[in-house]
């Protein structure tokens, strides 16, 4: 139990938090007028922020990565709280690509990304010490920005590596019979389906893995589509745990971003809980395949929730929120 579950969680958590701090420090030092200007333009309105975040999340294949990056930028003072609202909504939409392409996870390239970033950092440090460069007037450290960029990427890679290590407890949890127990209970009550999705996602730090399991079970006829959709709602709640963990040691603004993520996801799940049969009917109209129906339910759920919450992001009150 210790070697297969407890140790990977503790080890992964340490790497995760270390990566957060490295990334925040590098972003804070590296951020110049160009980066700040780009972020201001990309998040000048909640709608722009949502579209920007949807694209970034789709590319990174991880809403967790975008959420953590957003908290890092807020902690580094590059984004105000009001500008993160659209980003949070967009990350929930962009992550639907992960469900459709369940086999592709950015965590698989964490180690190569970490290795490349370290090599780039070492080379840039050595180049800075090279006399023709180091003696250049007006630019005592011309490779400083490259070093900080490499450190930021390394921190991000550590965050993804930490999550991947924590995901390693999946097989051990499955061997304990926890998956089977939750599935059996969920077959009798929708609330158990939501609880199953939330708990398993919180333990595995991967909503994609849990939703992928639900898709596989539904495709074989083992899991009813309605219960699978309930698991999807729960998974969206469970994925908030990573943001809460990232809030440990964060600034007040970073913590507020994390809890906003929690409120939006939990609120969306509660809102849709009575409409699971309707969501099941809508997905059945799109596809006859049970597994595809669950994937489509994830997409519909996140898009509808984000669009419903978008007008709230335009309220003037958010511009007055300041943290000291």
**Residues sharing a CB contact under 8 Å with residue 202, sequence separation 6 or more, in sequence order:** 238, 241
The percentage of the chain sitting over the pLDDT mark of 70, rounded to a whole number, equals 73
Render pLDDT for 125-163 as a digit per residue (tens, 0 to 9).
Answer: 787 776 555 555 555 566 777 888 888 888 878 877 776
- The answer to whether 8 touches 276, Cβ cutoff 8 Å, is no
Contact 84, 260 (CB under 8 A): yes
Task: Give the alpha-carbon dihedral of 274, 278, 283, 284, to 10 degrees.
Answer: 130
d(CA 266, CA 283): 22
DSSP 92-128: HHHTHHHHHTTT--GGGGHHHHHHHHHHHHHHHHHHH
Predicted confidence at residue 51, as pLDDT, reads 86
CA distances from 151 to 22, 57, 179, 268, 270 (A): 7, 21, 38, 36, 40
Interval 218-277: pLDDT, tens:
776 767 788 888 988 998 888 888 778 777 777 777 788 888 888 888 888 888 888 888
CA distance 17 to 141: 29
The residues, any chain, with a CB within 8 Å of residue 185's CB and separated by 6 or more, are: 192, 196
pLDDT at 41: 72
pTM over 0.95: no
Q: What is the 3-state secondary structure (H, E, C) of 206-242?
A: CHHHHHHHHHHHHHCCCCCHHHHHHHHHHHHHHCHHH
């Amino acid at each position: 139990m210790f070697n297969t579950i407890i140790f990977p969680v503790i080890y992964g958590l340490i790497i995760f938090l270390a990566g957060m701090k490295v990334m925040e420090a590098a972003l804070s030092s590296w951020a110049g007028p160009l980066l700040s200007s780009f972020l201001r333009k990309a998040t000048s309105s909640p709608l722009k922020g949502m579209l920007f975040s949807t694209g970034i999340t789709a590319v990174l294949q991880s809403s967790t990565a975008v959420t953590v990056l957003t908290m890092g930028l807020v902690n580094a003072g590059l984004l105000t709280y009001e500008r993160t609202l659209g980003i949070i909504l967009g990350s929930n939409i962009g992550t639907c690509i992960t469900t459709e392409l369940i086999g592709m996870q950015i965590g698989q390239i964490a180690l190569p990304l970490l290795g490349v970033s370290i090599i780039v950092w070492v080379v840039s440090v050595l180049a800075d010490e090279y006399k023709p460069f180091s003696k250049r007037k007006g630019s005592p450290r011309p490779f400083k920005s490259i070093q900080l960029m490499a450190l930021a990427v390394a921190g991000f890679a550590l965050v993804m590596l930490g999550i991947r290590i924590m995901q390693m407890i999946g097989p051990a949890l499955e061997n304990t019979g926890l998956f089977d127990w939750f599935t059996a209970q969920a077959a009798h009550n929708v609330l158990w389906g939501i609880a199953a999705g939330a708990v398993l996602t919180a333990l595995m730090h991967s909503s994609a893995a849990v939703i992928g399991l639900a898709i596989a079970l539904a495709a074989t006829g083992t899991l009813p589509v309605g219960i699978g959709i309930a698991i999807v709602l729960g998974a969206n709640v469970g994925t908030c745990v990573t943001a809460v963990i990232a809030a440990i040691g964060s600034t007040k603004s970073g913590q507020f971003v994390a809890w906003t993520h929690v409120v939006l996801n939990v609120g969306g799940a509660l809102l849709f809980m009575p409409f699971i049969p309707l969501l099941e009917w809508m997905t059945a109209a799109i596809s006859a395949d049970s597994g595809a129906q669950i994937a489509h339910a994830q997409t519909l759920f996140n898009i509808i929730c984000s669009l419903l919450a978008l007008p709230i992001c335009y309220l003037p009150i958010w511009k007055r929120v300041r943290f000291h």
